[in-house]
Amino acid sequence: MIVPAVDRAPEEALAVSEAPRQRKIIHVDMDAFYASVEQRDNPELRGQPVAVGGSAARGVVAAASYEARTFGVHSAMPSVTAKRKCPDLIFVKPRFEVYKAVSAQIREIFADYTPLIEPLSLDEAYLDVTDNLKDMPVATEIAQEIRSRIKAVTGLIASAGISYNKFLAKMASDLNKPNGQAVITPKNGPAFVESLPIKKFHGVGPATTERMKKYGIETGLDLKSKSLAFLQEHFGKSGPYFYGIARGIDERQVRPDRIRKSVGAEDTFADDINDLELAKAELRPLAEKVWRYCEVNQISGKTVTIKVKYSDFRQATRSRTVSRPFSAMPDVLDAARDLLAGVYPFRRSVRLLGVTVSSLTYDPDADEGHRQQLDLGL
């Protein structure tokens, strides 16, 4: 799809206006991050179709190199499907500690430009460079410099999107991948959104896309035609957000101290499980992993949720909220096992189980910065 409302040239960068003053937001996204790290560290993988993940029959692709993507391989695809699409696909086991170390190098580069950094994952982040530490007036030049430094320090390539809000910066970062950048200006933002298919909107998943389609909403222009009352009625709390982004408006701030809302772990089994007691036993290592993270970061939570994914890839979730935060791993495990018993007998055999603790409470004496940056890497 050709989108005429996008400016790609650096000289057409966001201008700093005095009234009203526009924000300058950059979204940096590492290109095929996990797979690119593996290709960097193993020359034999360069130029080859690579998938990070398990190659076993029940494995799932965590990341795919661009060579693999030309065959239709993508993240979250079952490994057997990926191998069928690309018979020469090379599977590499993930090395999350390495990915975390590289991510830390990249964030150090970001910090030279602004303290307003909101990491979304190991491989992407928002930066607010409206008032940056280098007093650089042009956001596109900042993005270009950051991408050049990432390449020099890590040997990896990144793409970037530049705009006046988070939603459009995120959308722009996908326009010129890999190893490119694009800017969506305040002048062109609304027209860009109008022409955009709903399925390409960041934050609008397949289920919401289908719901919108039922109401005749297939493009940004369709979404813009709906009233705020209509969107609130049919999409609840997301209604005002959809109403805003349909007009190129997104007032969300870049939050460097974004609080983790939940801590979770899950596991896909080598063989499907039909027995309740066996399934309960599989919850223990998950609860232990979650609680270990909670202890390290001096947090707890009041809600336990289990996820059950069946052999047909459909899933069910069950939650329990208590009045006081959980104080020990066995309490979390007991709650999870009770919830699991509530979905037995299973509608089909179980291929995956997950345990999540949410409604988190934080110890105010804990190291805030350390707590925010840790990631389970699951």
Q: Tell me the CATH number at 50.
A: 3.40.1170.60
The pLDDT tens digits of the residues spanning 10-27 come to 444 444 434 467 899 999
Kindly write down the DSSP assignment for every residue of 42-100, as one continuous string.
-GGGTTS-EEEE--STT-BEEEE-HHHHTTT--TT-BHHHHHHH-TTPEEE---HHHHH
Domain count along the chain: 4
Q: Quote the CA–CA distance of 38 and 40 in Å, as a whole number.
A: 5
Q: What is the mean pLDDT of residues 341-370?
A: 78
Residues 79 and 141 in one domain: no
Q: Which of 10-24, 68-82, 99-113, 339-353 has the lowest mean pLDDT?
A: 10-24
Residues marked as catalytic: 124
Assess contact for 276 and 344: CB atoms under 8 A.
yes
Residues 194 and 179 in one domain: no
Q: What is the mean pLDDT of residues 79-85?
A: 93
Residue with the bigger pLDDT between 319 and 6: it is 319
The pLDDT tens digits of the residues spanning 301-310 come to 999 999 999 9
Residues 102 and 86 in one domain: no
Structure tokens at 324: 């006081």
Domain of residue 71, residue span: 34-95
Q: Quote the CA–CA distance of 196 and 188 in Å, as a whole number.
A: 13
The pLDDT tens digits of the residues spanning 137-182 come to 999 999 999 999 999 999 999 999 999 999 999 999 999 999 999 9
Residues 25 and 164 in one domain: yes
Residues 367 and 275 in one domain: yes
3 state DSSP class of 340? helix
pTM above 0.85? no
pLDDT-derived band at 207 (thresholds 50, 70, 90) equals confident
Residues 121 and 202 in one domain: no
pLDDT at position 362: 67
User: CATH code at 178?
Assistant: 3.30.70.270
Q: Quote the CA–CA distance of 143 and 147 in Å, as a whole number.
A: 6
pLDDT at position 20: 63
Residues 305 and 366 in one domain: yes
